[in-house]
Structure 1
Amino acid sequence: MARAFLAYRSPRAFAFGASGQFVYLLTELSAELMVLRWDQAQGRLSLVQTLPVTSNAFTGVKNGAEIAVSRDGRFVYVENRAENELVVYRVNGESGMLSLIQRTSSGGEKPWGFAIHPSGKWMLVANQHSGKVNVFAIDPASGRLSDTGESANMPTPVAIDFVK
């Protein structure tokens, strides 16, 4: 039953919350964000919440791309490829449940991947179809993103990683 449930939604990426008690799962084809409670002793996940990644007005083909949790565990960041945007959620530390904070343009077309700099101050977004990587500042208090206006041209970027 659980396998069929998830297969229909096409899981794409997941990230553990800071406490390790919650898992945030992004689906690709249904563009949903699922909050799952991790029971380490039983080795089980249980569904806590499901949220659509696309806006209520969106009627096209849905497509989730990337997910990350802030270092302090207070925010979850998601890439919504279908609407060329980044979506920011606030985490309730007790329940793990999410509330929407922001929807903002990814700065290009078809955001395929992103990464948060180890400092937690910057997010780099790979916009595949527009051929550029955009730089966003992260407000540490609110979790909100702001486009710095800085970008680098690159043919078909799809992934970002920071290497030490």
Structure 2
Amino acid sequence: MGFIRRTDELVDGHNVSHVTPQALDRWEARLEDIFNGRQFDMLDAALSNTVSRFPPFRDMVEGMRMDLWKSRYINFDELYIYCYYVSGTVGLMSVPIMGIAPESKATTKSKDELTKSGLSDEDIFAGRVTDKWRIFMKKQIQRARKFFDEAEKGVIELSSATRWPGNGGDQI
């Protein structure tokens, strides 16, 4: 998981203002080198066997690229896709290592939830707490709880030796 941390630091770390899309291109080329058996340093060598078995590494790099050019998502579908690239890929790579095969039946449906709720970007950024906002947020909280519940069910399926890090330290 060191490579994941190193990649994330490119777009979220203290040097983020110096990272260009070209730097991420070079980092992605380095990942391709690892896929092709060419390592630059000891960390690359350690990663070589892992990346050959867990292809979502490429998607994770794409998620980091999204961090460079996009900071807002117009609907849940866009946010969901972003979450897959930057977090879901880490989960997909971690799950087999932790003892179970990744299986997902998640789907997305296209919609602009703010508009459907009668809210605008201006409402959100102005911090207007209205009845429409409350209804909207209740739906978001319900969805988040559903995802947390699904995640907890997944954590229970992990082998007991790896379960603790997957649920933030809580005992199940």
The TM-score by the shorter chain falls in which range? Answer: under 0.3
Which structure dedicates a bigger proportion of its chain to strand?
Answer: 1
Q: Highest relative contact order (Cα 8 Å, sep 6+), 1 or 2?
A: 2
TM-score by length of 1: 0.24
TM-score, normalised on structure 2? 0.23
